[in-house]
Structure 1
Amino acid sequence: MTDTNSHVNSNDADRAPALFVHGFGSTHEATWGVPGWHELMETIGYRVVPFGLPGHGELPAPSGTDDDMLAELLAVMHESGITTAVGFSAGALMLLRAAVRSPESFTRLVLVGIGDQMWGDASGFSSLGDKLLSPEPDPSVALIRQLALRAGNSLKSVAAYAKTAAPPPALSRLKELDVETLILLGEEDTVGPADDLMAALPHATLVTLSRVDHYRAPGSAEAMSAVLDFLAQ
């Protein structure tokens, strides 16, 4: 289920691995590759290990359950000795679900583009899947549809992921996570604020990205600087 990592080089064996999970409707390259995260992580001795959301890029649509997807993500982490993970939006939510399932697998989490509004809909991403496939174009998902097609994704496969992914874990479950966590949230991101999320996570730090909306967060220079500082601790 991992994306092909075209950035692998002979020095990677000496670098600590960090899992990177992209956002809904996107791909690893669009979310993390284009902004330069591979090169950035190399400067502090890390190598990026991509994990693609099922149904995105060349990955097949999910055929099992959310638990199956989390099991595969955790298997990749265990096989590669990964305990540090970075996720954007739906990727960040997937990491939180995995951390609740297997808290001992994580030592540090970076969650980008995540906020309290993501806990407002009990259906999670399922309703997005329905809207993407609606015969009548839904203006509320017009941007997601545009970004998904631009990234080369199949709307049907992306929608299948949305309908398979579980809702975010209950905030009460997050209180159990003994994991150092960095939350990066754009000042103009409509999924914010992150007050309830911050109150739920016992070891969380919030960095608000000035004049940044949801989709610009992964490419924000302020986000990159914050991650470097966090991982250098």
Structure 2
Amino acid sequence: MGSVALVHGWGGSFATTWQRSGLTALLEDGGKEVVGVDLLGHGAAPKPHDPEAYNDLTARVFDAIDAASPDEPIEAVGFSLGAITLLRAAIARPDRFSRLVLAGIGKNVIERDQEGATRIVEGLESVIESGEATPAVLADMDHTARLFVQYAQQPDNDIVALAAVMRRASAGELDATLCSAVTCPVLIVVGDQDFVHPADELASWFPQGQCETLRNVDHFATPEAFGFFDATLEFLDAI
């Protein structure tokens, strides 16, 4: 049935995003060989504090998939930062991917919210300075920044490294021309309560793109939503 790589989002890891949710077990029950990826700064990967270390996040993706499936293209699932990283990887080497599920991305790819990203970084830095995410510190943040800061509090996370990931240099804007190089089937999955919703225009950038919108699902709930599981397993023919 082939291999499928799983790439978590910012602040997550292979263990906390995919193993804990049970998606890995479901894929394995469907005959898939799961390839886990921890992005730099996350999980079991090194956690440098220099933002420049994160300028190319695709390296660990390619290391993992080239080791697991050196001769055949691979299916892959990514959430949020992991989805954007997979997208950049597929643009660079479209021959390495046979199917892509990109969750938790949408209008943020088309028009980057730089002000929102700055507020998230400022929120992280305020926690670093205070030493903990106290109610008083959280109260000074907007809703999205507060969500990211709270998500960063997961066990074994290095909040300084996570702030460095957020401060990394831009890898360049993505557009329809670049995405048209990704010729494999692509499924975009986004919750209708996600700050990146809608994703229909992004899906239209791919020659074989489609979009699945999950009802009453926000950003960080996406990789644990039953609708996400159903859409992903059906798309990867793992049910």
Structure 1 length-normalised TM:
0.83
Secondary structure of the structure 2 residue equivalent to 1:189: coil
Q: How far has the Cα of 1:16 moved from its partner?
A: 2.7
Shift in CA distance, 231/54, structure 1 to aligned 2, threshold 3 Å: same
- Corresponding residue number in structure 2 for 1:48: 34
Among candidates 107, 113, 127, match of residue 104 of structure 2: 113
- Corresponding residue number in structure 2 for 1:104: 95
- Corresponding residue number in structure 2 for 1:31: 17
Counterpart of 1:166 in structure 2: which amino acid? S
- Corresponding residue number in structure 1 for 2:223: 218
Q: C-alpha distance in 2, partners of 1:176/1:96? A: 10
- Corresponding residue number in structure 1 for 2:75: 84
Secondary structure of the structure 1 residue equivalent to 2:167: helix
Query: Retained in 1: the 8 A contact 2:10–2:80?
Result: yes
Q: C-alpha distance in 2, partners of 1:226/1:86? A: 11
Shift in CA distance, 227/92, structure 1 to aligned 2, threshold 3 Å: same
Query: Retained in 2: the 8 A contact 1:118–1:124?
Result: no
Q: C-alpha distance in 1, partners of 2:182/2:156? A: 36
Query: Retained in 2: the 8 A contact 1:22–1:91?
Result: yes
Deviations 1:32-62 (A, max 9, x none): 1121011100121012211112112342235
- Corresponding residue number in structure 2 for 1:74: 62
Shift in CA distance, 23/160, structure 1 to aligned 2, threshold 3 Å: same
Deviations 1:101-122 (A, max 9, x none): 1111111101111111343227
Unaligned segments of structure 2, at least 5 residues: 130-136
Shift in CA distance, 213/105, structure 1 to aligned 2, threshold 3 Å: same
Counterpart of 2:27 in structure 1: which amino acid? M
- Corresponding residue number in structure 2 for 1:200: 205
Query: Retained in 2: the 8 A contact 1:70–1:97?
Result: yes
Is structure 2 residue 47 aligned with structure 1 residue 61? yes
Query: Retained in 2: the 8 A contact 1:61–1:161?
Result: no
Secondary structure of the structure 2 residue equivalent to 1:53: coil
Query: Retained in 1: the 8 A contact 2:109–2:174?
Result: no
- Corresponding residue number in structure 1 for 2:166: 162
Is structure 2 residue 148 aligned with structure 1 residue 144? yes
Structure 2 length-normalised TM:
0.81
Secondary structure of the structure 2 residue equivalent to 1:77: helix
Q: C-alpha distance in 2, partners of 1:184/1:194? A: 8
> How many residues in Structure 1 have an aligned counterpart in Structure 2?
218
Q: Percent identity?
A: 32
Q: How far has the Cα of 1:96 moved from its partner?
A: 0.4
Unaligned segments of structure 1, at least 5 residues: 1-14
